[in-house]
C-alpha cells in the first residue's frame, strides 16, 4: 500500500484506501493481517474510470 499511496500522492495509507474503496471494494483482500490489492481486478476498474474521465468529445460537442 505504501507504494500506491506515494504514487497517487496521498498523505496516509488510510486516505488512499478510502479513495480506492469508494471506487471498487472488490479489489481488496485481507490476508494475514495485511491489506492487499488484487491487481487484475483493479486494472479493469481503473481502466473503466479512465475511459469515463477521458472520453472523447467531437467538434459538434457529441460524446464519443
Q: What is the 3-state secondary structure (H, E, C) of the chain?
A: CHHHHHHHCCCCHHHHHHHHHHHCHHHEEEECCEEEECHHHHHHHHHHHHHHHCCCECCCCCEC
Q: What is the mean pLDDT of residues 1-30?
A: 82
Tell me, yes or no, if the pTM score tops 0.75. no
What is the per-residue pLDDT across 44-61, written as a single tens digit (0 to 9) for each? 877 887 788 777 767 776
Task: Write down the domain spans for the chain.
Answer: 2-53
Q: Residue 11: what pLDDT? A: 92
Q: What is the mean pLDDT of residues 8-18?
A: 88
Spacing of C-alpha 44 from chain mean position: 9
Q: Residue 25: what pLDDT? A: 66
Q: Residue 64: what pLDDT? A: 56
Q: Residue 61: what pLDDT? A: 66
Amino acid at each position: 500500500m505504501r507504494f500506491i499511496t506515494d504514487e497517487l500522492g496521498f498523505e496516509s495509507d488510510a486516505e488512499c484506501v478510502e479513495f480506492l474503496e469508494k471506487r471498487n471494494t472488490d479489489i481488496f483482500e485481507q490476508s494475514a493481517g495485511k491489506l492487499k490489492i488484487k491487481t487484475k481486478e483493479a486494472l479493469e476498474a481503473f481502466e473503466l474510470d479512465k475511459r469515463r474521465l477521458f472520453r472523447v468529445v467531437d467538434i459538434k460537442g457529441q460524446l464519443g
